[in-house]
Amino acid sequence: MALADFDALVVGGGAAGLMCAIAAGQRGLRVCVVEHANRVGKKILMSGGGRCNFTNTGTTPANYLSANPHFCKSALARYTPWHFIEMVERHRIAFHEKELGQLFCDESSKLIVRMLLDECEAAGVRVETSCSIESVEHADDGRFALKTSHGRLRAPALVVASGGLSIPSMGASGFGYDLARRFGHSVLPLRAGLVPLTLSGKHQDHMAELSGVALPVTARCNGQAFTHTMLVTHRGISGPAILQISSYWQPGDDLRLDLLPGEDALDWLRRHQAERPATELKTVLTEAMPKRFAQRLCDIWLPGDRAHRPMRQFTPAQLQAMARVLSDFPLVASGTEGYRTAEVTLGGVDTGELSSRTMESRLIPGLYFIGEVVDVTGWLGGYNFQWAWASGQAAGTAL
């Protein structure tokens, strides 16, 4: 089969790969994106409930998990949310801030994919979809050769932008991790992140009837805390607060919930005792959280007839014990829903073996890793796309 020569081959037509290809193409490089799915940007399409939370204006390195928290700094500093917003505005895509700096398309994620493809076209980037890679060779002259279902491709630079393992039905594969290992790179342990947690045994029984109930909580684990909504599902718990903390949790870790976020639980109980001494505890709780949740909390975690006692009957010690249940509620999760529903994959190609400025391998010149395949994982809220854009741009301008 004929051999097509390029300056750079990009494996993966997702957020990072397209961004890298655009930046390199704009510099006059001949770039080919190899995507095995039948269309590019499938995760962009499904993101943000179809409206793509494409960045977060408050992005800082502190919003990322990585064995080396400094690694992401250079790329994030050189390609900021405002650079991406400039592109979005240039393409006249309407957007809005939902909350906490999270920017979403007004209409559809399709517009972001369209924008990236238009930019690819303008930059002369070739995009091959439904193109599977059969082998990767690294010749003595330093060039990389891909044998693909669309023919043989060759270039002095190979950019791995094949993403993580989450949502296999959308084209996710372990290709990038396997390739990294083959070229001598370390891959730090992989696990599902931004993922619902599962409960089992009595912990599941306690929550089972509450499926569908949502309430604000502060979820705390391993020194991190997130205040947002928790949603009880039929398998366990989800919602933004839980997805966020799931990235910091591993089986066996202590996970606590503050069920009265923003309040000091003991002060709150004392205040209600002073102001409404004749009101039952259950009624007081119902005003702070959904009725079904308050009821269950009373039935299981506040034993005896306490829930029906008027506030005036509680001793200071009993109020303290109740405050502990409300502010430091132990949640015993059994696991996560795994890659089937996870938004991201934690871990990945060890950043210690990559240049933080260019994303190039320190082991194999001409080999680059960008996006989710790298051990950099963002919080929920547009941070993961911002990393994809920034790391893609870093490689695309360095190739």
Please report, to the nearest 10 degrees, the dihedral formed by the alpha carbons of residues 89, 392, 132, 362 taken in order: 180
Nearer to ligand FDA, 307 or 344 (CB): 344
Nearer to ligand FDA, 327 or 336 (CB): 336
Nearer to ligand FDA, 114 or 276 (CB): 114
Contacts of 399 (CB under 8 A, 6+ apart): 7, 8, 20, 24, 27, 29, 157, 159, 368
Residues 326-345 that bind ligand FDA (CB under 6 A): 343-344
The amino acid at residue 245 is: I
Q: Does the protein bind ligand FDA through residue 43 (CB under 6 A)?
A: yes
Q: How far is the CB of 367 from ligand FDA (least distance, A)?
A: 15
Per CB under 6 A, the segment of 22-30, 63-71, 78-86, 162-170 that binds ligand FDA is 162-170
Q: Does the protein bind ligand FDA through residue 34 (CB under 6 A)?
A: yes
Q: Does the protein bind ligand FDA through residue 162 (CB under 6 A)?
A: yes
With CB atoms as reference, the residue minimizing the distance to ligand FDA is 14
Nearer to ligand FDA, 19 or 123 (CB): 19
Q: Does the protein bind ligand FDA through residue 369 (CB under 6 A)?
A: no
Q: How far is the CB of 204 from ligand FDA (least distance, A)?
A: 24
Question: Going edge to edge, which strands form the sheet with 236-238?
Answer: 329-330, 255-258, 214-221, 224-232, 236-238, 197-198, 335-336
Nearer to ligand FDA, 53 or 74 (CB): 53
Q: Does the protein bind ligand FDA through residue 239 (CB under 6 A)?
A: no
Q: Of the candidates 398, 394, 395, 396, which has an alpha carbon nearest to the alpha carbon of residue 80?
A: 394
Measure the CA–CA gap between 244 and 381, rounded to whole angstroms.
9
Residues 49-108 that bind ligand FDA (CB under 6 A): 52-53
Q: Does the protein bind ligand FDA through residue 154 (CB under 6 A)?
A: no
Please report, to the nearest 10 degrees, the dihedral formed by the alpha carbons of residues 338, 341, 342, 348 taken in order: 70
Q: How far is the CB of 173 from ligand FDA (least distance, A)?
A: 4
State the angle between helix axes of 383-396 and 15-26 in degrees (0 to 180), rounded to the nearest 10: 30
Q: Does the protein bind ligand FDA through residue 233 (CB under 6 A)?
A: no
Contacts of 128 (CB under 8 A, 6+ apart): 32, 33, 34, 35, 148, 150
Binding test (CB under 6 A) with ligand FDA, winner from 173, 227, 286, 355: 173
Strands 335-336 and 197-198, by their bridges, are antiparallel
**Count of C-beta atoms within a 10 Å radius of residue 294:** 22
Rg (CA), the chain: 25
Taking CA atoms, 238 is separated from 156, 195, 293, in Å, by 45, 7, 15
Q: How far is the CB of 371 from ligand FDA (least distance, A)?
A: 2
Q: How far is the CB of 70 from ligand FDA (least distance, A)?
A: 20
Going 309 to 313 to 318 to 324, the CA torsion angle's sign is positive
Binding test (CB under 6 A) with ligand FDA, winner from 32, 47, 88, 269: 47
Which residue, chain included where needed, has tokens 């702070």?
Answer: 288
Contact pattern from residue 11 through residue 30 relative to ligand FDA, giving x for each residue in contact according to CB under 6 A and a dash for the rest: xxxxxxx-------------
Q: Can you give the binding site for ligand FDA, defined by CB under 6 A? A: 11-17, 34-37, 42-43, 46-48, 52-53, 133, 161-163, 166-167, 171, 173, 175, 343-344, 371-372, 382-385, 388
